[in-house]
């Protein structure tokens, strides 16, 4: 079946409607731009933000004296010498203003004595992490930004838009994008004077992960195919205490983090022994262990045959009274009871789970990418967190970078009279998204995604070797051959609405190139640093205090290394 493409024209196109994209849309409209905000899923509901149950770091200094430079020092220390200092500085300096703006918009930060209260997340030198009770931070941020947008007629929103490629204009600048409306199957062209990528990270590449279905690295793939560089792609953060067992429905698998902030808790191996001191950090009932060390400690215990029954570690709050648990988590305790979990009587099992991606699109402090007309915001931006992200910096990064990207994109749009999508790039993208001569819809795309997730989890997890990474590259190549160059025809024949298989074909097209970028970068980095641990190169080496960049040229990923910028004083 064939469609006439729907043509949209706007000042600023924002791709991705989590906190970064929504904040960018709001800020761009404040800068005088008309905005078109699209999401592959539903607006404000499909990204990582809505699942972030934890905290947001910002040096507000309301309870204890604090300043952005202290937040910056902790961010840099967590990054194992590899943070982009310019981006880290922007993150910490702009964080308080964004947190206060969200407060004014009614997000409902937890308060004590009439001021915003903060908790101390691991890696922070003082209480700096704000939150919304009860473990409702991300949903509250999302809802607040949606509400602010609802009052704004200059922001046009569209759910269920799958963007497949960025397109350059006649002057060579990024001039918009081509996609399709999943709800109807119709191709869509979007001409934009500025485009903001706010598509989040890549955790969907892994079997067990803590983010939404649509975090398959779309923005990385869009940027690569448009000619931009990615940085630090080997650094995938694993959250050490993702829920493993017993089966728990209706809760985010990283929900144990806020429990640990408030109540401490004890991490135990399969023999009910505390074990983290063997790996260089004694917890002593407090939650101080950095993420990369905790992940390492749990993996090593499991490897030594001392894991919990499902292959992780136990997390115990049995020392807490029912009253203390209720006071700290209110209705969440009832949701646990519905899953037959009584924390006063039993430990739960936890294990590392793919959580966040430090790498991403190269951007400067104005959130400009290397490509004129293209901006980036949020997790899709690479470099800020170096080799390991500090707890609490993800939502901070979404709102700070989103605000900055929206401002920059609006300013850029003002300098441009009108954008036309260049014919050649437009034709190629429309040809792909149309239903011309695609294969019969007999690929099991759902099973292919499961296979890719298994490869990435088993061979490109937190502990890597050259042999594992080579196997991964071979497996990824096989999947790419199966996928082919063209999407399948619509399975429903005349009915092109919500063809999930076809959507997954476009997802896999992105996921496979991003998986290759991660794996090749990991293979080339012959040292261990932060979230990237090579069992065959176990030392952190001074010479490797360098960023690696990836570009796509003629269908081939090209890797290069660049020295880290000198630490600013």
Partner 1 sequence: MSTFATLKIRRGGHGEPARWETFEVPFEPGQSVLDGLRWLRVNKDPTLAMRFSCINANACKECMIQLDGETVYACTARLEPREMTLTPLPNKTLIRDLVTEIAPPSERFK
Binding site for partner 1 (CB under 8 A): 38, 41-46, 50-51, 138-139, 146, 150, 157-161, 181, 183, 188, 212-214, 246-253, 339, 441, 443-447, 450, 491-492, 495, 497-501, 504
User: Which CB sits closer to partner 1, 1 or 467?
Assistant: 1
Nearer to partner 1, 42 or 479 (CB): 42
CB of 301 to partner 1, least distance (A): 25
Q: How far is the CB of 185 from partner 1 (least distance, A)?
A: 10
Smallest distance from the beta carbon of 256 to partner 1, in angstroms? Answer: 13
Closer Cβ to partner 1, 407 or 502, answer by number: 502
User: Under a CB-based contact definition with an 8 Å cutoff, are residues 127 and 287 in contact?
Assistant: no
Q: CA–CA separation, 216 vs 224, rounded Å?
A: 14
What's the sign of the alpha-carbon dihedral 322, 328, 331, 336?
A: negative
| In 429-519, beta strands by DSSP E | 463-464
CA distance to 87, 149, 159, 351, 400, per residue, from 58 (Å)? 15, 24, 31, 28, 10
Q: How far is CA 278 from CA 5, 80, 283, 462, in A?
A: 61, 21, 11, 19
Q: How far is the CB of 42 from partner 1 (least distance, A)?
A: 5
Q: Which is nearer to partner 1, 242 or 383 (CB)?
A: 242
Neighbour count for residue 45 (Cβ, 10 Å): 18
Residue 203 burial (10 A CB sphere; 0-12, 13-18, 19+): buried
Provide the annotated active-site residues: 291
Least Å from the CB of residue 500 to partner 1: 5
Residue 300 CB, nearest approach to partner 1 (Å): 27
Nearer CB in complex with partner 1: 95/188: 188
Query: What Å distances lie between residue 210 and 345, 378, 446, 454, 518, CA to CA?
Result: 26, 17, 19, 15, 18
Question: How many C-alpha atoms does 525 have within 13 Å on its Cβ side?
Answer: 38
Tokens 């009253």 locate to 323
* Range list of β-strands (E), 159-215: 161-168, 174-181, 187-197
Which helix (H) or strand (E) segment is 489 a member of?
Answer: none
**CB 56 within 8 Å of CB 19:** no
């Amino acid at each position: 079946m064939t469609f006439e493409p729907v043509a949209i024209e706007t000042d600023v196109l924002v791709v991705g409607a989590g906190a970064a994209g929504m904040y960018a849309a709001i800020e761009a409209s404040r800068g005088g731009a008309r905005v078109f905000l699209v999401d592959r899923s539903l607006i404000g509901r499909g990204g990582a933000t809505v699942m972030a149950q934890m905290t947001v770091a910002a040096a507000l200094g309301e309870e204890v004296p604090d300043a952005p430079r202290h937040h910056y020092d902790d961010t840099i220390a967590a990054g194992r010498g590899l943070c982009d200092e310019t981006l880290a500085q922007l993150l910490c300096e702009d964080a308080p203003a964004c947190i206060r703006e969200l407060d004014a918009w009614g997000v409902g930060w937890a308060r004590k004595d009439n001021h915003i209260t903060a908790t101390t997340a691991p890696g922070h030198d003082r209480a700096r992490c704000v939150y919304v009770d009860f473990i409702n931070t991300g949903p509250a941020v999302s809802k607040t930004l949606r509400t602010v947008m609802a009052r704004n007629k200059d922001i046009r929103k569209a759910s269920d838009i799958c963007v497949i490629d960025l397109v350059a204009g006649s002057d060579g600048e990024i001039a918009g994008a081509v996609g399709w409306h999943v709800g109807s199957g119709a191709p869509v062209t979007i001409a934009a004077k500025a485009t903001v990528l706010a598509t989040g990270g890549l955790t969907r590449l892994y079997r067990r992960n803590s983010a939404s279905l649509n975090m398959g690295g779309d923005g990385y793939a869009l940027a690569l195919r448009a000619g931009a560089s990615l940085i630090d792609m080997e650094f995938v953060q694993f959250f050490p205490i993702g829920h493993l067992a017993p089966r728990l429905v209706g809760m985010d698998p990283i929900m144990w983090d806020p429990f640990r902030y408030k109540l401490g808790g004890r991490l135990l191996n399969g023999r009910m022994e505390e074990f983290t001191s063997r790996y260089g950090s004694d917890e002593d009932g407090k939650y101080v262990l950095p993420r990369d060390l905790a992940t390492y400690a749990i993996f090593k215990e499991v490897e030594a045959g001392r894991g919990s029954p499902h292959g992780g570690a136990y997390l115990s709050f049995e020392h807490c009274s029912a009253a203390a648990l209720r006071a700290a988590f209110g209705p969440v305790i009832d949701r646990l009871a519905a899953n037959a979990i009584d924390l006063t009587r039993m430990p739960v099992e936890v294990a590392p789970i793919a959580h966040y991606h430090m790498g991403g699109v190269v951007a400067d402090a104005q959130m400009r990418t290397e490509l004129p007309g293209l901006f980036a915001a949020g997790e899709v931006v690479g470099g800020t967190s170096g080799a390991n992200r500090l707890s609490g910096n993800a939502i901070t990064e979404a709102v700070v970078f989103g605000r900055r990207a929206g401002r920059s994109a609006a300013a850029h749009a003002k300098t441009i009279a009108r954008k036309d999508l260049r014919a050649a790039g437009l034709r190629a993208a429309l040809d792909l998204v149309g239903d011309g001569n695609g294969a019969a819809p007999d690929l099991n795309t759902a099973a292919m995604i499961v296979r890719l997730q298994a490869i990435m989890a088993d061979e490109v997890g937190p502990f890597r070797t050259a042999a594992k990474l080579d196997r991964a590259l071979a497996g990824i190549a096989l999947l790419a051959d199966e996928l082919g160059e063209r999407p399948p025809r619509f399975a429903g024949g005349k009915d092109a609405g919500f063809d999930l298989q076809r959507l997954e074909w476009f997802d896999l097209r992105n996921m496979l190139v991003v998986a290759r970028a991660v794996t090749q970068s990991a293979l080339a980095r012959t040292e261990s640093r932060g979230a990237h641990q090579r069992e065959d190169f176990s030392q952190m080496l001074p010479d490797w205090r360098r960023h690696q960049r990836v570009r796509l040229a003629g269908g081939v990923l090209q890797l290069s290394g660049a020295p880290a910028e000198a630490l600013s004083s």
